[in-house]
């Protein structure tokens, strides 16, 4: 299987292609069962959420139609603004760091060395392990007094850190967990790119007397760029969506210092039972995610890439 | 000249080895520490400076996990929910991927793409309200339906890519010979796409297995899956690090084993499909 | 032995005071000559959702006794408080909860449960001699507790199953080493904590909950020292008054300057770990956690723990009470067996064992009158002395309003901000302003 993402297919097939229409006619039938299911469990919830967002909606209680009141309240809500900022800061850090580290890791794992298979498997494990389980273990390691991390730091002469127990370090610490968990995904995607690199440019560069750094900057990196871009898009979307680890490790605390939109929306829905208000959060968040995603797909389409 | 380049070579090798060490050690340390916690007594787990090697190792934490909780029941729930969602996902998702790939319907693909981007959490509220009306909160059925939100998009997504990479000529030829579209799909495309089906079911399995918030809210007691059980029942026992670490390992074990044994497929699938669940 | 007799007498005095705490009409059973039968539901099975507490650890460990007594199988589980609250709302709202019996935090969920009519009114069953064991002795359950568990409209939808009091645990060894005495007033806690704090040894003078939401009761208890509540009698918020600011400043100083790093994220469990491992000299929290103190498998300071009554505030002595009730889901199809479980949960033997093992305080009066309870307990006499005095000065730990969770979250964030260094007065003003509309909205609905 090639590393070409279906997104490429999607982008390419924007214009309907008219080839042998006789056979193409009834292919849509294959999608009917999935369409029914998707309409029921995916599209319907989207529409229903929009509907609920126009109401004051209590769990098990009555509903009142309030038109745009929830949105008005939301845009004036200081806590929501803060959550938005936390989400963006988190997303930025949790995208850039794994991209850099993951690319470096891919370059390392692209080389042949003894034990590569097993080490790569271990490297990939964090992203496979159940996030809740991981988060709980990290929480134990972050304990400011008894945690193993502060002990290890003390061994190299670094004073104990408060990790998730301080408003100023909680987001960087959560980013740390996210980086640990998802750098492997970037590595895998870039590794896929490295595997498909052509040989010719390097051979001619060698003849021209280029050193390996020059070769990386002028040949490898430009060829890898499309793959890094794919990884970037995936990272941004994933980082925006993170819920499990933050919920388990800090629940948005201390105070509201790490409250991202996802946490805010969960609390509104299932701790304060403001279903209508929470639905408005979902709608706004959904719009943000789709806008960012489409923007990035657009950027990707612009950068020429086709193997 | 000769000697210098040897030194350089050794240095370079050492630097490379160091890079590998730096990359891999966070994962190794994390899992070793978890294993260590799970085999130590409570007093050792709370000790500072920490005790690293369990001596003597104890199975008490694992016993606690199994004796104090219906761990086996949660495991069965997890298997039912994940298995059901993956199976239904394959039944509707593989044909859909085929149909979309062959008809090049980009509109459908965009819906799938957006579904992959949407946080799983945002489906929770409407689905909860619906299941509440239907009286289905706390049932395995409700959870399977909810997990379809995770499995269908990823299966369809990967299958589109896979079927697109298969040449259509074989099917076309078969259809010229009088084969129906269904027969062409069933007897030509599906067997060829088997690796893709394997990849998509492995990934769908992992993401569905790892999901926990659906079960926290919709699971109730009878339908609770493993991840939410670990969170709900054990998490606040932070005084008991041992059982918690043991449970964390047990929950992750199936997916970790899958990672080890199906590494190739996972690598291929992730570099192709990419998006994790949310 | 003399001291023991004294403490027993005081226990009895205290027990006599308990009934005065508030006395609704006493529910009586009409007929003592009953055809009650523990085995009438033999073969049935009930689901029980308990809150995660040492008390319920005890109940799970003796569950088989209930099955032997009644032939009813119990499938029970404990869920941590905060998750439990969310789950309860979700499950009750779904109309078909997956449990027959559940604990309700009377401090947090009572009004919500009453409004939603989640739970069965227990009075008819209590009055029915066929349903209620002749030796249940409802009159032995503290009137104060019953007042807690009775709704404003008179429905008694839970039985009070525990009353826990805030106290100041202290590490006697650390106190002796530093040569200091137990604080005599709330302000004095600061002085004492200062002398005990030695960061170079990883030892701190004080620890209490800093985690948002969980931290509010600590502040409330300090607030009671000024003889005010979160709301005055007319329902007006008192949370930005000078008294409230004084209490918040006290909370701020103790947790910012004399508590271990990271208390901002501590709930009771982390505090307990810190305290039982000997890293904190005082811990302000509830009697519910006493059981772990003297357990050498969990505590490094077994035998060295002091149990101090909450020191007096400037205007009053007070100990915050947290009551929990146990009730039967209205949607349950097994109300009969569930009611038997409730009776067993609250019977004299089990309630005495709770007190004796330190797994929690009892809602019954008789355990405090029973010398055997104290004699056989692994907890020292000082614990029981403290309990008695705390009962005297008990005061409901949280306001009786519907949006308790928002109250705790809003003021909880203000308190964490203070631990982070923010000034008390503006934080409380802002929190009060933020909470007022939520409160008004809930009162209107």
What is the full DSSP assignment across A51-80? Answer: HHTTEEEBTTS-EEE-TTHHHHHHHH-HHH
- Sorted by sequence, the CB contacts under 8 Å of residue A203 that are 6+ apart come out as none
- For residue range B2-33, what is the model confidence (pLDDT) as tens digits? 556 888 889 988 999 999 999 999 999 999 99
**Mean pLDDT for all residues in chain B:** 85
**Mean pLDDT for all residues in chain A:** 85
Distance from B14 to chain A by nearest Cα, in Å?
12
Q: β-strand C45-51 against C101-105: which pairing, if any?
A: parallel
Judged by CB atoms closer than 8 Å, whether chains meet at B27 and A139 is answered as no
Same domain, C417 and C285: yes
In a domain, A110, yes or no: yes
Give residue B270's pLDDT band: very low, low, confident or very high (50, 70, 90): low
Q: Which residue of C has its CA nearest to A249?
A: C265
Give residue B235's pLDDT band: very low, low, confident or very high (50, 70, 90): low
Q: Indicate the pTM of the whole model.
A: 0.83
Domains and CATH numbers, chain B: 2-60 (no CATH), 64-272 (1.10.3720.10)
Give residue A137's pLDDT band: very low, low, confident or very high (50, 70, 90): very high
Residues of C with CB under 8 A from a CB of B: 47, 49, 52, 60, 75, 77-83, 87, 90-91, 93-96, 98-99, 202, 267, 269-270, 272-273, 277, 292, 297-298, 300
- The runs of H, that is alpha helices, within chain A are 6-12, 21-24, 32-38, 44-52, 69-76, 78-110, 116-128, 131-141, 148-155, 170-195, 200-207, 212-215, 221-241, 244-249, 261-270, 275-302
Same domain, C339 and C415: no
pLDDT of residue C237: 95
Q: Which domain holds residue C252?
A: 165-319+399-444
pLDDT of residue A181: 95
Cβ-contact C265, C211 below 8 angstroms = yes
Same domain, C298 and C339: no
Same domain, C149 and C232: no
Give the HSE-up count for residue A173: Cα atoms under 13 Å, Cβ half-sphere: 28
Q: Which of A69, A135, A138, A145 should we substitute to test contact with C (largest number of C Cβ atoms within 10 Å)? A: A145
Give residue A79's pLDDT band: very low, low, confident or very high (50, 70, 90): very high
pLDDT of residue B1: 46
Q: Which residue of A has its CA nearest to B143?
A: A41
Nearest Cα neighbor of B94 from A37, A234, A45, A13 is A37
In a domain, A11, yes or no: no
Distance from B26 to chain A by nearest Cα, in Å?
7
pLDDT of residue A175: 97
Specify the higher pLDDT residue, A290 or B269: A290
pLDDT of residue B275: 42
CATH number at residue C329: 3.40.190.10
Q: What are the chain C neighbours of A164 within 8 Å (beta carbons)?
A: 265
CA dist B226 to B143, B232, C256, Å?
A: 13, 10, 38
Same domain, C238 and C199: yes
Same domain, C265 and C155: no
C-alpha C223/C-alpha C432 separation (Å) is: 15
pLDDT of residue A109: 92
C412 touches chain A (CB under 8 A): yes
Cβ-contact C89, A59 below 8 angstroms = yes
Same domain, C63 and C138: yes
Show the low-confidence residues of chain C (pLDDT under 50).
Answer: 1-9, 12-32
Q: Tell me how many domains chain C contains.
A: 2
Give the HSE-up count for residue B259: Cα atoms under 13 Å, Cβ half-sphere: 23
Specify the higher pLDDT residue, A298 or C381: C381
B235 touches chain C (CB under 8 A): yes
In a domain, A130, yes or no: yes
B105 pLDDT higher than 80: no
Same domain, C24 and C131: yes
3-state secondary structure of A222: helix
CATH number at residue A285: 1.10.3720.10
A-B CB pairs within 8 A amount to 307
pLDDT of residue C57: 86
Distance from A129 to chain B by nearest Cα, in Å?
5
Q: How many residues does chain A have?
A: 307
Residue numbers of C between 275 and 334 with CB closer than 8 Å to A:
277, 279
Question: What ranges make up the beta strands (E) of C210-342?
Answer: 282-286, 305-309, 319-328
B170 touches chain A (CB under 8 A): no
Q: What are the chain C neighbours of B69 within 8 Å (beta carbons)?
A: 77
pLDDT of residue C445: 63
pLDDT of residue A16: 45
Q: Tell me how many domains chain A contains.
A: 1
Distance from B223 to chain A by nearest Cα, in Å?
18
Specify the higher pLDDT residue, A214 or C33: A214
In a domain, A33, yes or no: no
Give residue A215's pLDDT band: very low, low, confident or very high (50, 70, 90): confident
Q: Which domain holds residue A228?
A: 38-302
pLDDT of residue C17: 44
- Mean pLDDT, rounded, for A118-134: 92
Rg, C-alpha atoms of chain C: 22
Residue numbers of A between 89 and 108 with CB closer than 8 Å to B:
101, 104-105, 108
C-alpha A192/C-alpha A190 separation (Å) is: 5
In a domain, A23, yes or no: no
pLDDT of residue A1: 32
């Amino acid at each position: 299987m090639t590393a070409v993402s279906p997104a490429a297919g999607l982008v390419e097939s924007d214009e309907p292609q008219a080839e042998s229409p006789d056979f193409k006619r009834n292919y849509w039938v294959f999608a009917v069962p999935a369409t029914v299911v998707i309409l029921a469990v995916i599209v319907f919830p989207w529409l229903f959420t929009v509907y609920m967002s126009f109401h004051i909606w209590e769990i098990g209680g009555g509903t009142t139609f309030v038109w745009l009141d929830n949105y008005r309240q939301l845009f004036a809500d200081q806590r929501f603004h803060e959550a938005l900022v936390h989400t963006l800061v988190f997303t930025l850090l949790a995208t850039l760091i794994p991209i850099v580290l993951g690319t470096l890791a891919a370059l390392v794992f692209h080389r042949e060395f003894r034990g590569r298979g097993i080490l790569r498997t271990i490297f990939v494990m964090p992203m496979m392990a159940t996030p809740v389980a991981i988060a709980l273990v990290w929480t134990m390691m972050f304990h400011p007094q008894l945690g193993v991390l502060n002990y290890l730091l003390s061994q190299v002469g670094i004073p104990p850190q408060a990790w998730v127990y301080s408003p100023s370090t909680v987001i960087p610490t959560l980013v740390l967990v996210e980086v640990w968990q998802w750098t492997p995904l970037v590595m895998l995607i870039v590794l896929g790119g490295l595997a498909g690199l052509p040989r010719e440019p390097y051979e001619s560069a060698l003849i021209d007397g280029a050193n390996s750094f020059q070769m990386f900057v002028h040949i490898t990196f430009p060829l890898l760029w499309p793959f890094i871009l794919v990884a970037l898009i995936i990272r941004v979307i994933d980082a925006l969506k993170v819920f499990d680890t933050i919920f388990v490790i800090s629940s948005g605390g201390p105070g509201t210092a790490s409250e991202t939109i996802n946490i805010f929306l969960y609390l509104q829905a299932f701790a304060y039972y403001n279903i209508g208000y929470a639905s408005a959060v979902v709608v706004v968040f959904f719009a943000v995610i789709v806008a960012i995603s489409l923007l990035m797909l657009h950027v990707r389409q612009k950068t020429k890439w086709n193997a | 000249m000769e000697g210098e380049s040897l030194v350089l070579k050794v240095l370079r090798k050492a630097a490379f080895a160091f890079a590998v060490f730096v990359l891999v050690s966070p994962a190794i340390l994390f899992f070793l520490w978890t294993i260590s916690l799970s085999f130590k007594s409570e007093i050792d787990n709370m000790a500072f400076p920490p005790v690293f090697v369990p001596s003597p190792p104890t199975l008490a934490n694992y016993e606690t996990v199994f004796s104090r909780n219906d761990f086996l029941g949660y495991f069965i729930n997890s298997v039912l929910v994940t298995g059901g969602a993956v199976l239904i996902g394959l039944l509707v998702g593989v044909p859909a991927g085929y149909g979309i790939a062959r008809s090049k319907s980009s509109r459908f693909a965009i819906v799938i793409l957006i579904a992959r981007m949407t946080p799983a959490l945002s489906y929770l509220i409407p689905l909860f309200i619906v299941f509440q009306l239907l009286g289905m909160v706390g049932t395995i059925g409700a959870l399977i339906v909810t997990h379809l939100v995770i499995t269908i998009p990823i299966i369809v997504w990967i299958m589109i890519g896979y079927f697109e990479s298969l040449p259509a000529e074989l099917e076309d030829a078969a259809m010229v010979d009088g084969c129906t579209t269904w027969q062409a799909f069933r007897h030509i495309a599906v067997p060829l796409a088997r690796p893709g089906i394997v990849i998509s079911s492995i990934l769908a399995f992992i993401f569905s297995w790892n999901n926990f918030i659906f079960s926290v809210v919709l699971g109730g007691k009878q339908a609770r899956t493993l991840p939410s059980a670990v969170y709900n029942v054990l998490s606040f026992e932070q005084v008991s690090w041992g059982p918690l670490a043991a449970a964390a390992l047990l929950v992750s074990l199936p997916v970790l084993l899958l990672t080890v044994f199906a590494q190739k497929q996972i690598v291929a699938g992730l570099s192709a499909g990419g998006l994790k669940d949310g | 032995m003399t001291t023991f007799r004294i403490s027993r007498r005081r226990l009895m005095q205290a027990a006599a005071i308990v009934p005065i705490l508030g006395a609704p009409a006493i529910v009586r059973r009409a007929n003592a000559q009953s055809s009650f039968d523990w085995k009438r539901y033999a073969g049935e099975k009930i689901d029980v959702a308990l809150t995660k507490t040492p008390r319920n650890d005890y109940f799970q460990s003796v569950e088989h006794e209930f099955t032997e007594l009644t032939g009813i199988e119990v499938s029970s589980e404990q869920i941590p408080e905060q998750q439990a609250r969310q789950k309860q709302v979700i499950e009750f709202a779904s109309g078909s909860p997956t449990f027959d019996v559940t604990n309700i935090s009377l401090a947090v969920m009572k009004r919500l449960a009453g409004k939603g009519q989640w739970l069965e009114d227990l009075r008819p069953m209590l009055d029915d001699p066929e349903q209620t064991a002749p030796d249940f002795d409802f009159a032995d359950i503290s009137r104060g507790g019953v007042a807690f568990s009775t709704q404003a409209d008179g429905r008694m939808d839970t039985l009070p199953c525990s009353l826990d009091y805030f106290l100041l645990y202290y590490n006697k060894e650390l106190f002796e080493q530093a040569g200091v005495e137990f604080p005599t007033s709330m302000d004095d806690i600061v002085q004492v904590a200062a002398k005990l704090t030695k960061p170079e040894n990883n030892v701190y003078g004080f620890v209490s909950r800093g985690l948002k939401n969980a931290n509010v009761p600590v502040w409330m208890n300090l607030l009671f020292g000024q003889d005010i509540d979160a709301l005055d009698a007319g329902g007006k918020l008192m949370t930005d008054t000078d008294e409230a600011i004084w209490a918040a400043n006290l909370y701020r100083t103790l947790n910012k300057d004399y508590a271990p790093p990271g208390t901002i994220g501590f709930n009771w469990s982390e505090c307990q770990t810190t305290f039982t491992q000997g890293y904190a000299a005082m811990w302000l929290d509830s009697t519910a956690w006493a059981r772990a103190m003297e357990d050498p498998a969990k505590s490094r300071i077994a035998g060295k723990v002091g149990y101090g009554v909450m020191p007096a505030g400037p205007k009053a002595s007070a100990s915050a009470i947290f009551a929990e009730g146990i009730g039967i889901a209205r949607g349950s199809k097994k109300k009969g067996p569930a009611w038997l479980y409730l009776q067993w949960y609250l019977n004299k033997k089990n309630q005495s064992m709770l007190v004796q093992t330190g797994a929690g305080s009892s809602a019954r009066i008789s355990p405090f009158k029973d010398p055997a309870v104290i004699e056989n307990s692994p907890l020292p006499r000082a614990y029981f002395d403290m309990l008695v005095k705390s009962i005297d000065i008990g005061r409901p730990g949280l306001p009786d309003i519907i949006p308790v969770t928002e109250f705790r979250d809003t003021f909880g964030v203000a308190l964490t901000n203070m631990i982070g260094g923010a000034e008390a007065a503006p934080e409380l003003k802002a929190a009060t302003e933020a909470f007022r509309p939520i409160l008004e909205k809930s009162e209107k609905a």
